[in-house]
Amino acid sequence: MYDLLIKNGTVVTHEGCGQWDVAVKDGKIAAVGSRGTFADAETQEVLDAADLLVMPGLIDPHVHIMHPFRDRFAADDFYSATVAAACGGDTMVLDFAIQWDKSMDLSETAEHRKRQFEEGAVIDYAFHACPTISEMETVEQVPKLIEAGVPSFKLYMTYSKQGRMSDDGVIYEVLRQTAEKGGIAGVHAENDAMCLFNTELYRRNGWNSPHYFPLCKGNLVEAEAVNRVVYMNRAAGGNLYIFHLTTEESLEVVREARARGERVTAETCVHYLVLNADCYDRPDGANFICSPPLRSPEDTEALWNGIRQGLISVVSSDHCGFTKELKALGNNEFAGTPNGLPGIELRLPVLYTAGVKSGKISVSKLVEILSTNAARTFGMYPQKGTIACGSDADLVLVDTKQVKTISPEVLHSPVDWSPYDGMELCGFARTVLSRGKFVVRNGEFCGERGAGRFVSRTIDR
Ligand SMILES: [Zn+2]
């Protein structure tokens, strides 16, 4: 006897599409069969998925919940952020255990993050360990975190002034250790010295408005850092993840590395695929300040090519929910404006509309970049990221027909604006199951605070 049968839908995985029915039992996918395989008498409940796509639950491997700015925080907490994620089709998010409090070591920081999630999360979660101390003690933490089921790391190559940067000695050593012990080292790649020099140069010249932001942090700032860390990764024999890659130049570095057979995985974010630097000339341009900056239409096109060619494997939201009020604290100057864009709920409809509907990518590719590749890269596959016997029954049923115009009212986040406001999108999550339980039903959230679980992960050496 099954708990649930999902019938009459079109199942989509990274491998293709099919008219399959899916049987769920005890939170797992128990069987997948061609349409009509299972009888209604074999199950407690039948869910009719006619006209819907049935995808593996989506995984957003790059979100920032309650990110601080000065003495304030981004608007959404662990409950509201995961509610919004679930309503966007996510069944798992990965956030960051950032060592803001330097008196806590990285393992304690991770434990603290876990407790914060435990209280609020409505879907499953994990996080990347993110050190802010560039010392031997950081490197010594690597095996401990891998042992604790946190085998992914994020190292900032910039933000020295904010006390977050890892220097190259530590980055090289983390690359080496993660490769040796089974993990992955991720980087925020921007050349710190160039960022500092340019910021001062622009300040002296009075070039403070958002318009100057993508010029101040030009393509070279990112591409040089990508090139440097790829070189270090080659020497270390490492497993490198590049968070939010945005430029054509960086993509070329990745192309060459992968052609040499090196382990380099690149991610971009939704906003770099559908928005460009023109946004900084809008009256609300300061809201669009994020690092790296939005780029040229040529870069955007290169990123879509990168996805089609498999050079960019993952598309995240890099969600960071600063309200308009917090964005305005920068007085319309890019240097003082908090960095980051909200977007946790809109990966699926934005990419379905701009990617699949426009003919840029297939729907299987969409599943790959929104779910499967994150699961593979960060050590959750095949528990998550696919629809197969034994996998968690994390599923999203997608309505490709209904069109909605984006505004804060149609979203579930407490953030009072969206970079996608006014866009007409389709491809929304209709129903979402997390380990077999409904968290969204017919577009309505019906999950439970604290129901999400920490996902312990292992990554192959
Ligand atoms: Zn980020």
What is the residue-level pLDDT of the chain in tens, covering all 461 positions?
999 999 999 999 999 999 999 999 999 999 999 999 999 999 999 999 999 999 999 999 999 999 989 889 999 999 999 999 999 999 999 999 999 999 999 999 999 999 999 999 999 999 999 999 999 999 999 999 999 999 999 999 999 999 999 999 999 999 999 999 999 999 999 999 999 999 999 999 999 999 999 999 999 999 999 999 999 999 999 999 999 999 999 999 999 999 999 999 999 999 999 999 999 999 999 999 999 999 999 999 999 999 999 999 999 999 999 999 999 999 999 999 999 999 999 999 999 999 999 999 999 999 999 999 999 999 999 999 999 999 999 999 999 999 999 999 999 999 999 999 999 999 999 999 999 999 999 999 999 999 999 999 999 99
Helix (H, G, I), strand (E, B) or coil at 182: coil
**How much distance in Å is there from the Cα of 66 to the middle of ligand 1?**
12
- Edge-to-edge strands of the sheet including 2-7? 28-34, 20-25, 2-7, 43-48
What is the chain's Cα-based Rg? 21
With beta carbons less than 8 A apart as the criterion, state whether 49 and 6 touch: yes
**How much distance in Å is there from the Cα of 154 to the middle of ligand 1?**
10
**How much distance in Å is there from the Cα of 394 to the middle of ligand 1?**
25
**How much distance in Å is there from the Cα of 335 to the middle of ligand 1?**
17
**How much distance in Å is there from the Cα of 61 to the middle of ligand 1?**
10
**How much distance in Å is there from the Cα of 131 to the middle of ligand 1?**
14
With beta carbons less than 8 A apart as the criterion, state whether 459 and 151 touch: yes
**How much distance in Å is there from the Cα of 62 to the middle of ligand 1?**
6
Residue 455's pLDDT is what?
98
CB atoms within 10 A of CB 403: 13
Inter-CA distances, 315 with 61, 133, 156, 243, 397, Å: 9, 28, 19, 10, 19
**How much distance in Å is there from the Cα of 29 to the middle of ligand 1?**
32
**How much distance in Å is there from the Cα of 14 to the middle of ligand 1?**
25
Backbone angles phi, psi at 206, to 5 degrees: 75, 15
**How much distance in Å is there from the Cα of 429 to the middle of ligand 1?**
24
With beta carbons less than 8 A apart as the criterion, state whether 408 and 418 touch: yes
* DSSP string of 394-424, one letter each residue: -EEEEEEEEEEE--GGGS-SS-S--TTTT-E
**How much distance in Å is there from the Cα of 7 to the middle of ligand 1?**
38
CA gap 60, 242 in Å, rounded? 15
CA gap 54, 7 in Å, rounded? 10
CA gap 407, 410 in Å, rounded? 6
Strands 16-18 and 10-13: antiparallel
**How much distance in Å is there from the Cα of 266 to the middle of ligand 1?**
14
With beta carbons less than 8 A apart as the criterion, state whether 85 and 344 touch: yes
Residue 139's pLDDT is what?
95
Residue 366's pLDDT is what?
98
Residues 6+ apart with CB under 8 A from 259: none
**How much distance in Å is there from the Cα of 64 to the middle of ligand 1?**
6
Q: Is 380 exposed, middle or buried (0-12, 13-18, 19+ CB in 10 A)?
A: buried
**How much distance in Å is there from the Cα of 164 to the middle of ligand 1?**
13
Residue 426's pLDDT is what?
98
**How much distance in Å is there from the Cα of 46 to the middle of ligand 1?**
39
Q: Report cis status (omega within 30 of 0) of the bond before 338.
A: no
